[in-house]
Every structure is written in C-alpha cells, then in structure tokens.
Structure 1
Amino acid sequence: MRTDTEVDCSAALEWVAEVLGAPVRDVRALAGGATGEMLALRTDSGTESILRLTTNEPWRTHGAALNGREAEIQEMLEGSGVPAPRSLALDRHGERCEHPAHLMTLLPGQVDQLRTDTDSLGLLAQLLADIHAIEPTIPLRDYQSWAWEEKFVIPGWAADRGLWDDAFAVLRTAPPAYDPCFIHRDFALRNVLWSGGRISGVVDWVETSVGPAWLDVAHCASNIAVRQGSGPADAFADAYGARTGRAPQPYFDVMDLVGFLPPPGRPPIWSDPAMLVRLEERLAAVLPRCK
C-alpha cells in the first residue's frame, strides 16, 4: 500500500476496507484540513473515496457531532442539484477508527483559491444562491459566531488600532434582522472544486446551520480579500446580490473578519504578513458600511 501520511490510520483503513469490500491500496493526505486528516483513498478494486479523520482538538472533542452533521447534510443534499459528496459510512465516535471518522465519495476537480475572474465569481455566487435556496428537511442548529468576546483584543500586528476597537464596538451591538436560511457556514474557495471551467463540487459541510445568508457571503469575501484584496471580494458580493436581490449586511462582514483573530495566547491564523495586512484592509473597507 502506498501512503504519504504520517498518521497511524491502520484501524481506519481496515474499517474502510470492510465498508468498500476491498483493501485500501493508496492513501494520500490532502492539504488544508484544520480538524484533522483528510485522506484520499483508492482500493484494490479502483474505488476512490475521501476519509475525514477528526484528530485535532478542539474539533476531536466534538467530532461525533461534526461528522454526524456532515453525513446527515450530505444525505439531505442528494438530488438537490448542489454538487456535494455522498456519505458512504460514519464511525461517529471513533469506535473502529480510533478517531471520529466519516467516509464519503471523492468528487472530481481541484481547489483554486485564486480563481476570481468575473465568470468564475459569477458561478461561485450562483452556487451560494442555490445553497441558500435549499429548504432543510432535517433539524439544523442555529449559526454560531466565530467572533467570540475573548477575541476582542487588538492584534499586535495591527497598523490601525482604532479600527479594531471600532469593530469590537459594532459587534457589541445586536446583529441586524435577517431572514434565516440554510447556510454552509464555511463557504470559501478552499472548499470549492473546479473541473473544466465549471464548479464540480463543494465540500466541508461540518459547520452547516441556519442563519443569515450574508454571513456566508461575508466569509467567502473575507477569504478572497486576504489573498487578492477587496476588489475581487466586493465583485463576488455584488454578483451574489445581483442573483438574489439580497442587500448587503456589513455587520456580518465585520463579524466574519473579527472571527479570524486567534483566541488570546495563540498565533495568527496566517503566517504570511501580507495576508494579515489585507485582512485589516478589508476591515477598513467594510466597517464604514455599518453606519
């Protein structure tokens, strides 16, 4: 068996072999999984799949809920037209895999976090509009803000300390009224797959909830902005508004940006100083819109 992961996943691979009816031949670790290991698998019979192993804290403590939610959402999305993976098996509590685990289908395509041309942003906006139009058929939790009060500390790298103080003040007020809808909650280019100029999949459904549509828009825009600036971020938000008629709610842009700050005592989420500069620049762009 070929493997390029250092994680001891032997127990998990035995479980996968039982589920799929063939030994696992190849294991490839995928980049970007904050919750633990995302492994691309191929069996001797040629079946390809993805295994999520929730190994990292604090997510491992909540792994049963996270993986269970993702499996339920993927089942709900079958036939919806949204290109999501299909759940194959769930080891909710890690009884077989030693860590909470979810096995799902492998979708075609590649992630491209720099894909912000006009046509691609239009496709991305339409995908998010389609997600928000889904009527949930299972109970879902209410959304959670990632801008916790403990994060309301001006970062040491900040160039404009007053800007962050103003952002914290905004978030100490009540959020605006919104029409709750089905949201992905971690919608960003890193979770979208592209193939042949089209979107072939959207992944990572563990945070799915009911909440404000604009929070999904804001999160995607924030992720675009820290890599390429506010121009493409606003172009995406405008494309979404044009397709849905939803007005911007900049409060949620501020909430999302502050959510990128680490809890006290932890390092910044990005090691690239340029990304931190662009995060602050994005906050400077959206904060005046709250007035």
Structure 2
Amino acid sequence: MTDHAEVAAVRPLTLAWVSRHLEAGERIVGAEALHGGITAEMRRLTIGARDGGTRDLVLRTFVNVEHAEDWLDRETGALTVLPGTGVPAPGLVAVDPTAAHCEHPSLLMTHLAGRTVLDDEGLEARVPLLARQLVAIHALRPAERPRKYVTLTTADTVAIPKGADAAAWAAAIDVIRRPVPPCEGRFLHRDFQPGNVLFDVPPSQPAGARITGVVDWAATSWGPADLDVAHCSVNLALLHGPAWGLRFAEAYQEAGGLLAAAASERLYWQVRDGLACSEELRSVARPWREAGRTELTTRALEERLDAYVTALMDAPG
C-alpha cells in the first residue's frame, strides 16, 4: 500500500533527486519518518519494482544545520571506505552535500536490518558486543585518513548540573585544563553509542542479540581510541547507570582494544567527554524518550551524569 501522505512529506526537489537514483522501473511507494536522530531528519523510503517486489532506502536530510556539508562529506568518506571491511554499515547510494539538487543537504543510503536497543534487559550481553564492534572500527586503516577529531567543550563552557558534587566537578574541570595527552591515532566513529548501533534480538532470548549495523558516520574522525570509548561510556552511564559507563572501558580492553597506558591520560579523555555531554543533555534526552525511555528526563540525566563524573574522580589511580 502506498503511503501517499508520507511520500508527499518528502520535499519535491528531494523526491525527484531520489527518483533519479533508483533502478529502472523502480518508484517510491512509501515513506516513514524515523526517530532517534538529533541533527538530521531521517526517513525510510520503500521502493517498489515492476515485479511487485520492494526494498528500503534511508534518506538523511540536514535542515538548517550548520556545517551540513562537512557532516555529509565525512559520512560519504566513511561509507566509501567501509564496504568490504566487515564493519556493518549502510551502503552509499547518492549524496547532495551542498543542496545543489535538493531543498536541503541530503544523503541516500541502503537500509540495514535490525533496531536500536536502549532497554536495560539484555545489557550484560550487549556491552561486550559493543566493545568488540568498536575495536573492529578502530582497527581500520584507510588509505586516506579522515579529518582530525575535535572536542568542543572547554573548562569555561561546562554546564554543572544543579545540586552536583561541586568538589568532584571542580576537580574534573581541572583535569581538562591540562595539556592534551599524546596519542596514537585511530579511525574513530566519533558518535559510537547504543543509539547508533542496530541489533537483531531474538524475542525470547535477549542475551542472543547480535549487531546488524552501525549508523551515523557523519562525525568520522582520526584520533585517540580513548575518545570513542569515553563517548560510549558516558552514553551507557546516562542510559543504564554510572556502573555501566565505568564497565565499558574494561569491556573494550577485554575485547583487545588498546587505551592510553597512563591512568591520568585515560581519565583525561573520560572526563572530557563526560563534561562535553553536560552541555547537551536536553537534546540527548529527547530522542531517548521518543524511543520509549520516558523516564529519562533532562533532570534524570543530570543526576546520572553527576554520579558518573563523581565516580570517575573517585576511581583509584
């Protein structure tokens, strides 16, 4: 059945652009908004063939987003490198980074099976899978490196949550005043976290989950493995509690990943990404609530972030 309303919701120029990149005899017969993204509009497009068969594509559109061209250039570069590496990622179909053909900068890619899983159930089995997947990403050595990582937070922009442990946060802010530790570069996803990983989970066996895809490669960078690990850690802390944030670095190393040798250097990256998250908790909370975690209000995330930062500063070493 054609979803005329949703197809009509795709802007006319973009609709025409997508149609030009379909196979002969194919047409768009349905469209569905996908939730969970922060920076881009996402739609699953159902493509019908003459023989009655269908396939799905995903349309990613950046509407009034600063640096959209850069984001799409990075994602295009990553999706060009990833085929054949064993890292499950969407296939690139077409890209219009400057909106030369579409109303807004857009990317068309293949649709991957699976779904994001943000529930607590089965987490113990999923964390090692996340760790092994991230180790595999960091093992990539593309002929052309992506751009160097950036970290936007500073000691002066940290948003300390109301009621937070003042001493712990002051100590954490002092940590990121230090010089950036030396590091060996790795291929980074730069937003690797449960919201960007797709799983196949057997209905009666949550522990039997397997990863089917890693999405949202728009921030792909070159930098320290610790930064990707720290980012996933803080997301796990916010979703499932501080203990899981602390656990992820251990899982990464158990999976064969290498982090900075010195505890002080590992702490630097953990703290830097944790403090960076303080500035965007409201935008992080919204898609998680839309995905069913309605208890994750901005205030709830502030409390979990405070507990996580405090735990980092209290950890031995």
| TM-score after normalising by structure 1 | 0.90
Distance in 1 (alpha carbons) for counterparts of 2:308 and 2:58? 34
Q: Name the counterpart of 2:244.
A: 232
Of stretches 118-127 and 180-189 in structure 1, the one that deviates more from structure 2 is 118-127
Q: CA deviation at 1:114?
A: 2.6
Distance in 2 (alpha carbons) for counterparts of 1:243 and 1:139? 24
Q: Name the counterpart of 2:143.
A: 137
Q: CA deviation at 1:148?
A: 3.3
RMSD across aligned C-alpha pairs, in angstroms? 2.2
Q: CA deviation at 1:36?
A: 2.1
The reply on whether 1:148 has 2:154 as its aligned counterpart is yes
Q: Name the counterpart of 2:116.
A: 111
Distance in 2 (alpha carbons) for counterparts of 1:99 and 1:148? 31
| Structure 2 contact 234–245 (Cα < 8 Å) conserved | yes
Q: Name the counterpart of 2:263.
A: none
Q: Which amino acid aligns with 2:40?
A: G
Aligned ranges 1:58-77 → 2 under 5 Å: 60-77=65-82
Identity in percent: 34
Runs of 4+ in 1 over 4 A off after TM superposition: 3-8, 266-269
Q: Which runs of 5 or more residues in structure 1 are unaligned? A: none
| Structure 2 contact 165–310 (Cα < 8 Å) conserved | no
The reply on whether 1:175 has 2:180 as its aligned counterpart is yes
Q: Which amino acid aligns with 2:267?
A: P
The reply on whether 1:44 has 2:44 as its aligned counterpart is no
Sort the Cα spacing of 1:84 and 1:290 in 2 relative to 1 into closer, same or farther, 3 A: farther
Distance in 2 (alpha carbons) for counterparts of 1:130 and 1:65? 25
| Structure 1 contact 133–181 (Cα < 8 Å) conserved | yes
Distance in 1 (alpha carbons) for counterparts of 2:6 and 2:234? 32
Sort the Cα spacing of 1:112 and 1:18 in 2 relative to 1 into closer, same or farther, 3 A: same
Q: CA deviation at 1:43?
A: 1.8
Sort the Cα spacing of 1:152 and 1:119 in 2 relative to 1 into closer, same or farther, 3 A: closer
Q: Name the counterpart of 2:217.
A: 205
| Structure 1 contact 134–182 (Cα < 8 Å) conserved | yes
Distance in 2 (alpha carbons) for counterparts of 1:122 and 1:87? 28
Sort the Cα spacing of 1:17 and 1:51 in 2 relative to 1 into closer, same or farther, 3 A: same
Q: CA deviation at 1:95?
A: 1.6
Q: Name the counterpart of 1:127.
A: 133
* Local SS of the residue matching 2:144: coil
| Structure 1 contact 11–97 (Cα < 8 Å) conserved | yes
Distance in 1 (alpha carbons) for counterparts of 2:176 and 2:7? 41
- The size of the alignment, in residue pairs, is 285
The reply on whether 1:185 has 2:163 as its aligned counterpart is no
| Structure 2 contact 158–276 (Cα < 8 Å) conserved | no
Distance in 1 (alpha carbons) for counterparts of 2:303 and 2:7? 33
| Per-residue CA distance 1:138-167 (angstroms, 9 max, x = gap) | 231111113234523434x24322322222
Sort the Cα spacing of 1:13 and 1:6 in 2 relative to 1 into closer, same or farther, 3 A: closer
Q: Name the counterpart of 1:53.
A: 61
Aligned with residue 35 of structure 1, among 34, 39, 55: 39
